[in-house]
Amino acid sequence: MNEVTSTFEQAPVPDLGLAPVPAKAYYDAEWYELERQAIFMRTWFPCGHVSEVPEPGSFIRREFEFARASLIITRGKDGEVRAFHNACTHRGTQLTQDSCGKRNAFSCKYHMWTFGNDGALISAPEFEKFGLDKKDCGLKQVACEVHAGLIFVNFDKTPKQSLVEFLGPLAEGMSHLPCAHATQFSEYVYEIDANWKLTYDNFQENYHLRFIHPRSAGAGLGKDNPFGYPIAQELHDPHRTQTIWSNPDAMAQMTPAQMLGLGLGAKALMRGDVPENPFSRAYFAVFPSFFMLGSTGNNFSHTVYPIGPEKSRGVIRLYWIGNDETAGTRFAREYTTATTRDVHSEDIAVIEAGQRGLSSGALEHIYFQEQEVLCRHLYMMVEQAVNAYKAEQRQA
C-alpha cells in the first residue's frame, strides 16, 4: 500500500487584522463611482491576448462599460499593437460593430472618413472644406501595452507607470506562464448580478470549497489539508499571489475520464517543447480584477469587468500552445475547460444570493477571517485608492 505523506505546510498568513469591512463598498452607487474614477479609469486593465491580433490588420473590439467606451485594438503595419476609441473623429460614429476581424483601414459608414491601423486619418471626402489638418484628426488613442502575451489598456491619458512597473514583482513570474507562448485559448464569458469585488473574491478564498464544491472540487481536499487552503499567501501592494496546494492523493480518486483529461492531457495541452514552468502552482492576482493560475495544464485566467455597482461581466480563458491536432489533445482541452466551467457554475448562484443580501442594505459590515486575507487586501487596496483620489480632488 502506498502511504501518502502530508505535503501541507502553510506559511504564516499575512496579518491585516480582523476589522469589519463596510458592506456599502459592495453595492453603493456613489462608492462605485469613486472606484470607477480612482481605479478603473487610471489602471492597466487586461482585455486581450496577442493571438487575437496575430498579423498586421488584425483587430478586436472590446466594450468597457466602466469607461463608457468601445475600443478597437489592432496591430499596425509596423507590428505594434495599439488601442483606439471606436469613435470616428468627424462626429463620433462607431467605426465597427464586429467583435474581431482583419482590415487595413476602418471606414466610417456615415460620411466615409477612413482611418489606418495606426489611427491616422487617411482620407475624407471634401476634406478641404473643413479647414482642418488631417494629422489632427486621427483616432483617439488609449495607452496599450503587452506583457506575457496579454494585452492591457489604460484609460489614463498619461499613465503614471509602464505596465511592467505596475506589475512589479509579478511581471517576471507571469512571463514564464503558458500564456506568454500561447497560440490559442478557450473562452467563456458570463454576466452576473453582482458587484465586481464580490464576483472576484469568490476566487480569492477557499473557505467555501468544502461547502459549495464537495463534488466537483472534492479531489482537491485531502486528509492533510481538508479545507484545501493554500500553502502561502503573499501581498505585493496593490497585487497579491498565493501558492495553491494540490492533494497528493487526488489521482487515486479520479475517474478514467479525469485521468485522461488531466493526466495524459496535461502534456498534450502544451504541445511543443515548452519547459515546465516554475510557477505552476502560483496564482497571480493583478489589481484590480484579474487573476491567473500558472499551472501548465490549466493556464486559467479570469477578468472581471465592472458594469455597474451590482453587475459585472467575467471573462474566463484557458491558454493553449499549438493546435489540437490529436483527439487526445482535443479531449484534454475540452475536458479542462468543461471542468472549470462546472466548478464555476456552482459558485454563480451563491455569489448572486450574496449580492441580493448586501444590496438590501441590511448589513453595515461584512467579515473576512484570517484565511480570507486576499479578499481583505483587495478591499484595503480599493479603499486606499479611493482615499487618495478624494484627497487629490480636494486639492484640485
Contacts with ligand FES by CB under 6 A lie at 88, 90-91, 93, 108, 110-113
Report what 374 binds from Fe ion, ligand FES, none; CB cut-off 5-8 Å by kind.
Answer: none
Quote the least distance from Cβ 117 to ligand FES, whole Å: 17
Report what 18 binds from ligand FES, Fe ion, none; CB cut-off 5-8 Å by kind.
Answer: none
* Residue number, nearest CB to Fe ion: 347
Quote the least distance from Cβ 92 to ligand FES, whole Å: 6
352 lies in the site for Fe ion, by CB under 5 A: no
SS3 (DSSP) at 236: strand
Tell me: cis bond preceding 238? Omega within 30 of 0 counts.
Answer: yes
Tell me: cis bond preceding 125? Omega within 30 of 0 counts.
Answer: no
Report what 347 binds from Fe ion, ligand FES, none; CB cut-off 5-8 Å by kind.
Answer: Fe ion
Quote the least distance from Cβ 176 to ligand FES, whole Å: 44
Check the CA dihedral 170-230-369-290 and report its sign: positive
Give the binding range for Fe ion (CB under 5 A) out of 2-10, 61-69, 137-145, 347-355. 347-355
Encode 19-45: b = buried (16+ Cβ within 10 Å), e = exposed: eebebbbbbbeebbebbbbbbbbbbbb
Contacts of residue 224, defined as CB under 8 A and 6 or more positions apart, other chains included, come to: 4, 6, 7, 8, 248
C-alpha cell at 329: 489533445
Nearer to ligand FES, 121 or 198 (CB): 121
Contact yes or no for 178/51 (Cβ under 8 A): no
Quote the least distance from Cβ 113 to ligand FES, whole Å: 4
Nearer to Fe ion, 55 or 211 (CB): 211
Nearer to Fe ion, 193 or 347 (CB): 347
Nearer to Fe ion, 347 or 383 (CB): 347
| Residue (of 114, 55, 64, 54) closest to 85 by Cα position | 64
Nearer to ligand FES, 110 or 367 (CB): 110
Nearer to ligand FES, 112 or 257 (CB): 112
Quote the least distance from Cβ 109 to ligand FES, whole Å: 7
Quote the least distance from Cβ 99 to ligand FES, whole Å: 20
Contact yes or no for 103/116 (Cβ under 8 A): no
Report what 313 binds from Fe ion, ligand FES, none; CB cut-off 5-8 Å by kind.
Answer: none
Residues 101-120 that bind Fe ion (CB under 5 A): none
Contacts of residue 336, defined as CB under 8 A and 6 or more positions apart, other chains included, come to: 186, 261, 262, 265, 269, 297, 298, 318
| Residue of 224, 347, 352, 370 that binds Fe ion (CB under 5 A) | 347
| Angstrom distance (rounded) from CA 149 to CA 135 | 31
Residue holding cell 478641404?
A: 128
Quote the least distance from Cβ 100 to ligand FES, whole Å: 21
Strands (E), the chain: 21-22, 45-49, 58-64, 69-75, 81-85, 100-102, 105-107, 114-116, 121-123, 141-147, 150-154, 184-192, 232-236, 239-243, 282-286, 290-293, 300-308, 311-320, 365-366
Quote the least distance from Cβ 53 to ligand FES, whole Å: 23
Nearer to ligand FES, 90 or 103 (CB): 90
Nearer to ligand FES, 113 or 320 (CB): 113
Residues of the shown chain interacting with Fe ion in the complex, contacts defined by CB under 5 A: 347
